[in-house]
Structure 1
């Protein structure tokens, strides 16, 4: 459980199987198009095949599209999620016959104020919307819904408050061998994150808590993967069970810093006395080379490219150590190549005719930290994440990495990576590399394996 199956900023995973194919979707927050969709045949190797919501309003950092649920029912794919920037409109639902779309225009479920919605159907075809409520003391609530129109078909009822930990959220409801199971996250999506489960005779319970709860948590351990939770179960064609869940890989001195966001991990699941247990997958998941080169000559960019609603085209960082290059012509107009956590936390190279400067933005402070003159024509800008210079020291200044900003062969800055971490900047996202305005002539990202 120490290597993600989907590395980088791919949080809140939800998975379903159709025949021999698995499909997985994640949160996207302020980045558009929203809800990345990935495909796999073995749950270990995933291909980013698209983004479900191509019509996402601009949002502030860590707002926008929150945790979705992806399901396949009666020959159709369904996604339900929450646009936190329009949270009072209720959860939104869209559907498609094929995972690559086209996806329908979203409908909103009025009166469902909360996050982390789930859809499940009983044998009679009734559709249950279950979510973490922001009303009446919180907890996991449920209402019957027509998923095609978004109309609720009854009263909302409380079904479970969890085991007593904070932030009861991320419900997923399943019928397994005639029993209904409710999987939730508790403890918050930080170091106390955990997966708990309850079961009952009907979709609305009453639910009894598993005596072994939490069934997954790495809290208060030295495990290299922390913040584990927000799980979704899936059964393979051979009858075995699996779970995807989120986790982070923190580095550096205390409080330890995770920089690439919440990532997607895989666990094998076994059942004993009607309760699931999570295990290391066998064989273990192995690291993947995420290197790629894009020249943007095609009519449509690869789905890995997204935008935060600003003048940047961005791609998620996938590794602990990496380097990336963007070929830009400063004479075409001012442009930036940045490593971004959010609008207030980024390091980058700013290109203008005759000059390239290195800039650091940390909170309210923005400072030029180096510059170099350049001649006319395209120039290669380089950003890299490398081992911190004081790696191994017993020092509170040891961070997760150093970020090196280079123009051609000239290093302009080497900056502390702690300030582009969630522990410093806050929020729910991870690092991305951004270029803009416009696209570079050439972009290369290279994984550096340990």
Structure 2
């Protein structure tokens, strides 16, 4: 069935999204680019051999910690995940801030997660190859206020230390940056912890965090983030401090922050330093001002140089990346080829659905809770149209399936089909309402469509032939998606199935058409 997805009306400028595999870029003189467009906060990057590897926060979405590879820092391919299915036994949520460390042929990933029933911890996993598979070694440190943002760094003698932040802002306290020696296996801390510095400068606000270190011209430089990271009211920025010895004393640059907002990008921070061809870069996140929280914090590459005083400087002290204009190359046309879902699909970490792909169809096992079982993709832009065709006649009784814009399982807008009807579902703070119910004549398949403008205004329609569309009436209420994005994540677009355990829905395709 051919599905027409042209947008119904001219739309204004929007944010850009992400594709797990980006087409090769032409030769460029500038390296200031959006390289991980979409919701990829707290990015990390390292070079192993002739290949660069990157990862980012995945928060409450699985698979946990995507791994990308690149030969040129600009074009990235999603190749695996640190925890592709099974989560570490000790952890429950808040999978934040992964950081690579490569040593003696082994790759370590230091990361943050919340201990079941307890505090945030810095933990480590390791692998014989940067693409995995990874073996988890559990938490290294978990202070009473929480411990996050681990980074491994050798000192001036070659001894490897873990650098991390004590999460004091979670309980209205300061946020010291600590360092402590790692054991020979790199899987436990030994000796005593040393405080390097804390948030004591006005621009840093309630916190300093996201440390990334590099050694240059006899100094250790720590790039770090300060102030509020996320959401509409964020005021994140990036500072730098330096020291001759890893354990200090540390001197903060009097021109901090060195990377701050401009009219295009908001709240740049939490990045990792890398080099290529003698040039220096920070891979960090920022919100595109036009779309902000609806798309999420995107991964930017920003080049810096060293001034005469030996401090790093960014051009105009802000990200110089231009928003991508060729958004059509991030369109999605999923026909469910092969025998499994691609790496770009996600699901709530505590509710991995039962899926199978066969004969060009996705079979999604239903779940009775709230919106149901779901698989989703990061939203590519804040203005787009999405559609799916499902086997309507084969839906079991009292099983509903459809298409949704998902902030998280507790906040979503969806168009759902089942029991001979098409409905609009509104899920907010875990409370589900059916806003519209329309009976549909019996048919084998039905195509469901959602349109969104700027991440906020939603419209829904259905088709029984893939060409003529029946809009669902929404005059009596406002379909406003402003509430959808969580504090720390962008909106996903997904397929959902709600019903009794053992029932399932069958989808024939999944399509997204982006619009600037």
TM more than 0.5: yes
1:382 aligns with 2:444: no
Match of 2:272 among 219, 225, 232: 232
| 1:405 paired residue number | 460
Q: 1:264 aligns with which of 292, 299, 303?
A: 299
Which residue in the other structure is 1:396 paired with? none
TM-score normalized by structure 2?
A: 0.76
Distance in 1 between residues matched to 2:473 and 2:312, nearest whole Å: 50
**Does structure 1 retain, via aligned residues, the 8 Å contact 2:260–2:319?**
no
Q: Which 10-residue stretch deviates more, 437-446 or 227-236?
A: 437-446
Query: How does the TM-score come out when normalised to structure 1?
Result: 0.86
Number of the residue aligned with 2:216? 176
Offset at residue 150 of structure 1 (A): 2.3
For residue 328 of structure 1, the aligned residue among 390, 393, 400 is 390
Distance 2:88 2:505 in 1: 21
Partner SS state of residue 67, structure 1? strand
Counterpart of 2:52? 22
**Following the alignment from structure 2 to structure 1, what is the Cα–Cα distance between the partners of residues 55 and 124?**
14
Return the offset for 1:283.
8.7
1:317 aligned residue: 379
Partner secondary structure for residue 343 of structure 2:
coil
1:161–1:110: structure 2 CA closer, same or farther, 3 Å change rule?
A: closer
> How is 1:64-79 mapped onto 2 (pairs within 5 angstroms)?
64-79=94-109
Residues 180 and 205 of structure 1 are in contact (CA less than 8 Å); yes or no, is this contact kept in structure 2? no
- Which of the numbers 432, 444, 457 marks the counterpart of 1:366? 432
Query: Residues 89 and 386 from structure 1, CA distance in 2 versus in 1: closer, same or farther, beyond 3 angstroms?
Result: closer
CA shift digits 1:278-337 (9 cap, x unpaired): 237889574452122223342332111111033211111121222222222233332242
Q: 1:440 to 1:206 in 2, by over 3 A?
A: farther
1:2 to 1:201, Cα distance in 2 relative to 1, 3 A:
closer
Shift of residue 28 of structure 1?
0.6
* C-alpha separation in 2, matches of 1:228 and 1:106: 31
Q: CA deviation at 1:340?
A: 0.6
Question: Secondary structure at 1:258's aligned position in 2?
Answer: helix
Distance 2:186 2:270 in 1: 27
- Using a 3 Å threshold, how does the CA distance of structure 1 residues 66 and 283 change in structure 2: closer, same or farther? closer
1:372-426 CA distance string (max 9 Å, x none): 3332422111222236xxxxxxxxxxxx5422222121222662232224xxxx4
Q: CA deviation at 1:56?
A: 2.1
Q: Residue 214 of structure 2 contacts residue 221 of structure 2 at CA under 8 Å; is this kept in 1?
A: yes
How far residue 246 of structure 1 moved from its aligned partner, in angstroms, is 1.0
Q: Deviations over 1:84-121 (max 9, x none)?
A: 25464732111222222111233321445411111112
Confirm or deny: 8 A CA contact 1:354 1:373 kept in the other structure.
yes
What's the CA shift for 1:348? Answer: 0.2
> Residue 358 of structure 2 corresponds to which residue in structure 1?
none
Q: Tell me: CA distance 1:332–1:125, structure 2 relative to 1, closer, same or farther (3 Å).
A: farther
Provide the residue aligned with 1:434 in structure 2.
494
Name which of 24, 33, 52 aligns with 2:82: 52
Q: State how far apart, in whole Å, the 2-side matches of 1:413 and 1:118 are.
A: 52
1:242 Cα deviation after fit: 0.8
Change (3 A) 1:122 1:323: same
- Corresponding residue of 1:200: 243
Q: Report the CA distance between 1:364 and its aligned residue.
A: 5.9
Q: Helix, strand or coil: the match of 2:482? A: helix
* Cα separation, partners in 2 of 1:134 and 1:350, compared to 1, 3 Å: same
Shift of 1:432: 0.8
Distance 1:325 1:94, change over 3 A: same
3-state SS in 1 of match to 2:278? coil
Distance 1:232 1:215 in 2: 14
2:175 maps to 1:138: yes
Greater Rg, structure 1 or structure 2? 2
Change in 2 beyond 3 A, CA 1:281/1:228:
closer
The change in CA–CA distance for 1:193 and 1:250 in structure 2 (over 3 A counts) is same
Q: How does 1:233-312 map to 2 (within 5 A)?
A: 233-236=273-276, 238-251=277-290, 258-272=293-307, 273-279=309-315, 286-287=324-325, 288=327, 289-308=329-348, 309-310=350-351, 311-312=373-374
What's the secondary structure of 1:416's corresponding residue? Answer: coil
